[in-house]
Structure 1
Amino acid sequence: MARKRRTTLRTSEQDISAAQQAPVTPQTESSTFRLAFSDPEFMTSEDTRGIRFQLEYLKPEFILREQGINSTVVLFGGARIPEPGKPAWAARNKTQERNLEQASRYYEEARRFARYASETSRALNFQDYVVVTGGGPGVMEAGNRGATEVGAPSIGLNIVLPHEQAPNEYVTPELCFNFHYFATRKIHFLIRARAVAVFPGGFGTLDEFFETLTLIQTGRMERVPLLLFGMEFWNKVLNFEALAEAGTISPDDPNLFTVVDSAEEGWNVVRKHYNLPEVSID
């Protein structure tokens, strides 16, 4: 957590403790008597939504600043893509099982890509090019795992979903965050990003890719290396030529991203963009 400044005034913790010691009376048992910031009903009400947005932005921001993390390398990708040799737990039929098992090679590429980023980060005292993922399974797990394998910290930005989702075991515990709002989570994905790597995935991955692409295309975000891993996958899923022919995007807009097929190819794009030294992960 953020360091507390010394103050001569009473702290909020002291007042919460004192309020809990108040005599039990009809007045003190009323919800109106609760301190506003320690009143769950008030803090989760519709009227305080803006405050919750602010808190979800501030908490990770304070912690990442305190940890001295200046920049990140973001990995987006499908939660359903298994580790090579492991069963495709999310498959609903034989076709999906076969396709997901074939896609497991992207788990390994994400893992290796994260190792390249993390070895570069090591040379910079783990303050730059720190790996960040959504903290879940699949490609996200691979990214955090790659960082862990070279002794580097990595960030996980989880989000509460209707079905239970625990952070993967490779996220650095002190850098593991949980969000209610997708919007604030996306801000933290991109606010420090020096590169964004997008692996095959579903709706969430597509949403994250197009959010990043839109921000870069509209000049709302600095142009950083935006990598699409898996030419065969993305050529089937997306048709940018059709958009250009329709006139809804500029013919040059597909140049805002680079399609790659391996961790080495992807990291070389990042390395050359920033003139970074070569690193070895083998």
Structure 2
Amino acid sequence: MNHTRNKVPPPAHPVERREPLPWEQPKSASEDADTAARLRAIMQHPSYAEADRDVDFLHTDANRGLRLQLDYLKAEQTLSAHGIERTIVIFGSTRLREPDTARRELEAAHREAAAHPGDVARTRALRLAERRMDLSRYYDVGRELGRLVGAAGDPGLVVMTGGGPGGMEAANRGACDAGAETVGLNIKLPREQYPNPYLTPGLCLQFHYFALRKLHFMKRAAAIVALPGGFGTLDELFGALTLIQTRKAAPIPVVLIGEAYWRGVFDADFLAEAGSIDAEDCELFWYAETAQEAWSGILDWHAQNASPLLATDR
């Protein structure tokens, strides 16, 4: 082909070539009958996979730091893309029942206890069913609180939960009732689990590391509300209180729903009297009984703090 040095050639095609490159076809079997088998062994070996497609490689101990980064980054990019700036984080027991469900379970427990008088296991089951019936009112409190946050109409402010059933479901459900987006931060566990069905598709995020999940609970939190709960709720609650106590995180409202329940779970006054915490640490949270009481308190706290919660108030 003749070339004119001072003539600008047309741009090359970004992918195609007029002439194939030598490596675009495997070595011919006519040259080596073992070619196909040898190439298959090479290309099917894990070492040949690109690093980001090699799941076993990504899950080696040496790549834990990379996995931590990914656990953080996927959630961060997703929340940012949805314009989520602030969250009302609501914790609560997975065992918190809807009132109708609790009522049916209590009726069944009564029948079992009546049919087997004196049976220790059934007597205990009845006692637990009665207690769950009593606590089920907090499902409605969580649902109404989620509705109040969602109905505020601020697209940058959303309800965030751990994405599971019980108290978490109640809060997400209330926000869903209001037609608002709502977030769940699920955690990968050894036993199969499902997110609650009231989360916004695209805003249910699954974490491998509890630490990164905790980070995202706190990163945008404008308030934390704890419905009655167990180990998981206590873990998140005390982690948040410790961050606020030490000022590692800026103070935010922390509301405990159900004063009698929470005073039975832990005694902050005792801790202060024992010198284990300071008196001012007892002021890092307060109690509420209703959703409106909790929501009004959160709004008032932010007004006092000169950090208006809703975009319309800024």
Asked whether the two chains share a fold, i.e. TM above 0.5, the reply is yes
* Counterpart AA for 1:272: D
* Counterpart AA for 2:143: R
> What is the rounded CA distance, in whole Å, between the counterparts of 1:59 and 1:201 in structure 2?
28
SS of corresponding position for 1:210: helix
Deviation (angstroms), 1:274:
2.4
Name the counterpart of 1:35. 50
> What is the rounded CA distance, in whole Å, between the counterparts of 1:163 and 1:271 in structure 2?
39
* Counterpart AA for 2:135: A
> What is the rounded CA distance, in whole Å, between the counterparts of 1:54 and 1:98 in structure 2?
45
CA 1:182/1:277 → structure 2, altered by over 3 Å: closer, same or farther? closer
Deviations 1:127-169 (A, max 9, x none): 12x0001111100110110001110000011112222211111
Match of 2:257 among 221, 224, 229: 229
> What is the rounded CA distance, in whole Å, between the counterparts of 1:211 and 1:65 in structure 2?
24
Consecutive unaligned residues of structure 1, counting only runs of 5 or more, are 1-8, 11-20
1:168 aligns with 2:196: yes
Match of 1:95 among 123, 127, 131: 127
1:127 aligns with 2:156: yes
Q: How does 1:40-55 map to 2 (within 5 A)?
A: 40-55=55-70
Match of 2:164 among 136, 146, 161: 136
Name the counterpart of 2:182. 154
Name the counterpart of 2:22. none
* Counterpart AA for 2:178: V
Name the counterpart of 1:14. none
CA 1:116/1:176 → structure 2, altered by over 3 Å: closer, same or farther? same
- 1:77–1:200: 8 Å Cα contact kept in structure 2? yes
SS of corresponding position for 1:163: coil
Q: How does 1:1-282 map to 2 (within 5 A)?
A: 24-87=39-102, 93-120=125-152, 122=153, 124=154, 126-128=155-157, 130-275=158-303
> What is the rounded CA distance, in whole Å, between the counterparts of 1:94 and 1:47 in structure 2?
51
- 2:146–2:174: 8 Å Cα contact kept in structure 1? yes
> What is the rounded CA distance, in whole Å, between the counterparts of 1:108 and 1:189 in structure 2?
23
- 2:102–2:136: 8 Å Cα contact kept in structure 1? no
SS of corresponding position for 1:155: strand
* Counterpart AA for 1:127: G
* Counterpart AA for 1:53: L
> What is the rounded CA distance, in whole Å, between the counterparts of 2:186 and 2:42 in structure 1?
40
* Counterpart AA for 2:284: L
> What is the rounded CA distance, in whole Å, between the counterparts of 2:227 and 2:191 in structure 1?
23
Deviation (angstroms), 1:277:
9.1
Deviations 1:171-202 (A, max 9, x none): 00110111111111111111000010001000
> What is the rounded CA distance, in whole Å, between the counterparts of 1:181 and 1:94 in structure 2?
37
Aligned-residue sequence identity (percent) comes to: 42
> What is the rounded CA distance, in whole Å, between the counterparts of 2:102 and 2:134 in structure 1?
11
Select the structure of larger CA radius of gyration: 2
SS of corresponding position for 1:173: coil
Deviation (angstroms), 1:243:
1.1
Deviations 1:96-152 (A, max 9, x none): 1111111001100011111111122x1x3x112x00011111001101100011100
How many residues are matched?
Answer: 255
Report the TM-score, using the length of structure 1 for normalisation: 0.86
Report the TM-score, using the length of structure 2 for normalisation: 0.77
- 1:113–1:146: 8 Å Cα contact kept in structure 2? yes
Consecutive unaligned residues of structure 2, counting only runs of 5 or more, are 1-13, 16-25, 27-35, 110-123
> What is the rounded CA distance, in whole Å, between the counterparts of 2:66 and 2:162 in structure 1?
23
* Counterpart AA for 1:226: V
> What is the rounded CA distance, in whole Å, between the counterparts of 2:40 and 2:208 in structure 1?
35
User: Please, what is the CA RMSD of the aligned residues?
Assistant: 2.2
